[in-house]
C-alpha cells in the first residue's frame, strides 16, 4: 500500500470516468470513482444511442450507465457519492475533498463532463420542474396530447424532439440561428414526423404561465416581430458548460473553460489527467469520451510507475 488512500481517484462517473476507472483497476491500481449523482453521466436519460460501438440496434443511456458500473464493480473499482469541491496538491499526490469525502490519491483523473446551459430569461427559473425541463424522455409522458417546445438546434434538441413527438400533440423546435446544427439523420427523422415544426431565427424572450407553463414569448429575428407560442412544456438544449468551476485555478483551462490536456490527457499539473467532454477540444461523443478515459488511465498508470509513487504498480506500467 502506498501512502495515499488510492492510486487513482476519478472525479465523474460518466462514460469517460467509468472507462478510466475500469482500465485503471484492471491494471491493478486502487481506484475510486466519485460522482455527485450516480453512474451514467449526462446520457443517463437518453432513450436511444445509435453511435456507441456495441449492439446494432443501439441502446438507451439508462442501459449503458449501469452496464459500465457493473463492469467497474467487477474490476474492483470503489464508488462514492459526493460533489467534489477541491483538488489540492499534497507531498505525495493530491487531496480530493467534497461535502463528505476527504481522501488522498497519487493521481487524479477529472472526468466531470458538462452541464446544460440555461437561457437566463424571465420564467425559466420560476417554472423549472413545472413545465421547464431538460429531459424529454423523463417528462415526455406528461406531455400527452399537449403542445411542447424545444429550444435549440443541435443533436440534443432533435433527439429530444423525437422522444416527445409520440406523446405531444405538437412539438415546436425553436432555434435562434438561420441554420440547424443537428446531424442530417436526426433532421430527416424530425421532418418525417407529422407533428414536429421547426422555427429558425427565433429567440425565446420569456416563459409565461401561472401554475405551470402556458406559452413562450418569442421574437422573429428576421422581422423583429414578437408573438406567443402556446406550449405546456419547454425543453431547453442550448449547449453545455464544462463542469470545471470547482477546479478554480488548479489546472490550466482553455478560453471555453475546458481543461487543457496533451495527447496523453495530462493537464498542466503532473499527476492530474482529464478525460471526456471536460477536456479542451473534446468532440463530445460517448465513444470519444470512453477512449479518453482509457488513455487517461494508462497515462496515470505510467506516471505512477515513473514517479515510483506506488511500488506495487511498477510491474503494471507496460500492461495493456
Ligand atoms: C440529451 C443528450 C443526448 C446525447 N446523445 C448522444 C448520443 O446519442 N451519442 C453520443 O455519442 N453522445 C451523445 N451525447 C453526448 C454525450 O452524452 C457526452 O459526450 C458524454 O456523456 C460525455 O461523457 P463524460 O463522461 O465526459 O461526461 P458526463 O457524461 O457529463 O459525466 C460527467 C459526470 O461527472 C459528474 N460530476 C461533475 N462534476 C462533479 C463534481 N464536482 N463532483 C462529483 N461528480 C461530478 C456528473 O454528475 C456526471 O455524472 C448526448 C448528450 C446529451 C445531453
**Is the shortest distance between the CB of 19 and ligand 1 below 6 Å?**
no
Residues 129, 108: Cα–Cα separation, whole Å: 35
Tell me the best of 113, 137, 274 to mutate to test the pocket of ligand 1, counting ligand atoms within 8 Å of each CB and taking the most: 113
Whether ligand 1 lies within 6 angstroms of the CB of 107 is answered as: no
Round to whole Å and give the CA distance between 297 and 275.
9
| CA angle (246 as vertex; 106, 243 as ends), nearest 5 | 100
Distance (Å) from CA 220 to ligand 1 centroid: 32
Residue 45 Cβ < 6 Å to ligand 1: no
Nearest-angstrom CA–CA distance, 261 and 159: 30
Please report which confidence band the pLDDT of residue 45 belongs to, taking 50, 70 and 90 as the band edges.
confident
The average confidence (pLDDT) of the chain is 92
Backbone angles phi, psi at 243, to 5 degrees: -85, 75
Residue 312 has pLDDT above 90, yes or no: no
Element (H, E) at 96: strand 94-98
Cell numbers given for 10: 476519478
Decide whether any atom of ligand 1 lies within 6 Å of the 236 Cβ: no
68 CB near ligand 1 (under 6 Å):
no
Helix pair angle (286-307, 15-26), 10° resolution: 40
CA angle 306, 309, 314 (to 5 degrees): 55
> Residue 85: exposed, middle, or buried by beta-carbon count in 10 A (0-12, 13-18, 19+)?
middle
Distances (CA, A) of 185 to 156, 195, 254, 282: 13, 18, 31, 22
The answer for residues whose C-beta is within 8 angstroms of residue 310's C-beta and 6 or more apart is 2, 4, 7, 29, 106, 304
Residue for grid cell 471555453: 256
CA–centroid distance, residue 43 to ligand 1 (Å): 6
Residue 12: which of 199, 268, 277, 302 has the closest Cα?
A: 277
Residue nearest to atom 44 of ligand 1 (CA): 35
Phi then psi for residue 202, to 5 deg, are -130, 130
Closest CA to 163 of 240, 49, 63, 57: 49
Distance 91 CA to ligand 1 centre (A): 32
pLDDT recorded at residue 116: 87
Q: Which three cell numbers stand for residue 146?
A: 399537449
Ligand 1 pocket check for 35: Cβ under 6 Å:
yes
Residues 217/204, Cβ–Cβ less than 8 Å? yes
Cα–Cα distance between 305 and 271 in angstroms, integer?
A: 11
Burial (CB < 10 A; 0-12, 13-18, 19+), residue 245, is exposed
pLDDT of residue 172: 97
* d(C-alpha 218, C-alpha 224), whole Å: 10
Pocket test for ligand 1, best of 43, 79, 82, 235 (most atoms within 8 A of CB): 43
Residues 251 and 297: their CA atoms lie apart, in Å, by 18
* Degrees, nearest 5: CA angle 151-192-167: 60
Instruction: Pick from 20, 68, 112 the residue to mutate for probing ligand 1's pocket: most ligand atoms within 8 Å of its CB.
Output: 112
pLDDT at residue 196, rounded to an integer: 97
The pLDDT tens digits for 80-128 are 999 999 999 999 999 999 999 999 999 999 999 999 899 999 999 999 8
> What is the pLDDT at residue 164?
93
Q: Is the CB of 51 under 6 A from ligand 1?
A: yes
pLDDT at 2 over 70: no
- Mutation probe of ligand 1 site: the residue of 9, 11, 14, 53 with most atoms within 8 A of C-beta: 14
- Please say whether the beta carbons of 124 and 25 come within 8 A: no
Q: Give the CATH superfamily of 6-115+240-310.
A: FAD/NAD(P)-binding domain (3.50.50.60)
With respect to CATH, is domain 119-237 assigned 1.10.3720.10?
Answer: no
pTM beyond cutoff 0.85: no
CA distance 99 to 92: 23
- Range(s) for CATH 3.50.50.60 in the chain? 6-115+240-310, 119-237
Residues in Cβ contact with 17 at an 8 Å cutoff, skipping those fewer than 6 apart: 10, 11, 33, 35, 41, 109, 111, 275, 276, 293
For residue 282 and ligand 1, the question of a CB distance below 6 A is answered with: no
H/E segment holding residue 274: strand 272-274
pLDDT band, residue 254 (cuts 50/70/90)? very high
Amino acid at each position: 500500500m502506498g501512502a495515499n488512500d488510492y492510486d487513482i481517484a476519478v472525479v465523474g462517473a460518466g462514460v469517460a470516468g467509468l472507462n478510466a476507472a475500469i482500465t485503471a483497476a484492471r491494471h491493478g491500481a486502487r481506484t475510486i470513482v466519485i460522482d455527485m449523482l450516480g453512474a451514467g453521466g449526462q446520457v443517463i436519460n437518453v432513450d436511444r444511442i445509435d453511435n456507441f460501438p456495441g449492439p446494432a440496434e443501439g441502446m438507451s443511456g439508462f442501459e449503458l450507465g449501469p452496464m459500465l458500473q457493473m463492469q467497474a464493480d467487477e474490476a474492483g473499482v470503489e464508488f462514492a457519492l459526493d460533489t467534489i469541491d477541491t483538488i489540492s496538491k499534497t507531498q505525495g499526490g493530491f487531496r480530493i475533498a467534497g461535502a463528505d469525502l476527504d481522501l488522498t490519491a497519487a493521481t487524479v483523473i477529472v472526468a466531470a463532463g458538462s452541464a446544460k446551459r440555461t437561457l437566463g430569461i424571465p420564467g425559466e427559473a420560476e417554472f423549472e420542474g413545472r413545465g421547464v425541463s431538460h429531459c424529454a424522455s423523463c417528462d415526455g409522458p406528461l406531455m400527452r396530447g399537449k403542445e411542447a417546445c424545444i429550444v435549440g438546434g443541435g443533436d440534443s434538441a432533435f433527439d429530444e424532439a423525437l422522444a416527445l413527438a409520440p406523446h405531444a400533440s405538437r412539438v415546436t423546435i425553436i432555434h435562434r440561428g438561420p441554420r440547424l446544427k443537428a446531424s442530417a439523420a436526426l433532421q430527416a427523422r424530425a421532418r418525417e414526423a407529422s407533428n414536429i415544426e421547426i422555427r429558425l431565427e427565433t429567440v425565446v424572450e420569456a416563459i409565461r404561465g401561472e401554475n405551470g407553463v402556458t406559452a413562450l414569448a418569442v421574437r422573429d429575428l428576421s422581422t423583429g416581430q414578437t408573438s406567443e407560442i402556446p406550449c405546456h412544456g419547454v425543453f431547453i438544449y442550448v449547449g453545455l458548460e464544462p463542469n470545471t468551476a470547482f477546479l478554480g485555478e488548479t489546472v490550466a483551462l482553455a478560453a471555453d473553460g475546458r481543461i487543457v490536456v496533451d495527447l496523453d490527457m495530462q493537464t498542466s499539473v503532473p499527476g492530474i489527467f482529464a478525460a471526456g467532454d471536460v477536456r479542451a477540444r473534446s468532440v463530445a461523443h460517448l465513444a470519444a469520451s470512453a477512449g479518453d478515459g482509457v488513455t487517461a488511465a494508462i497515462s496515470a498508470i505510467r506516471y505512477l510507475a515513473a514517479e515510483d509513487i506506488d511500488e506495487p504498480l511498477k510491474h503494471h506500467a507496460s500492461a495493456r
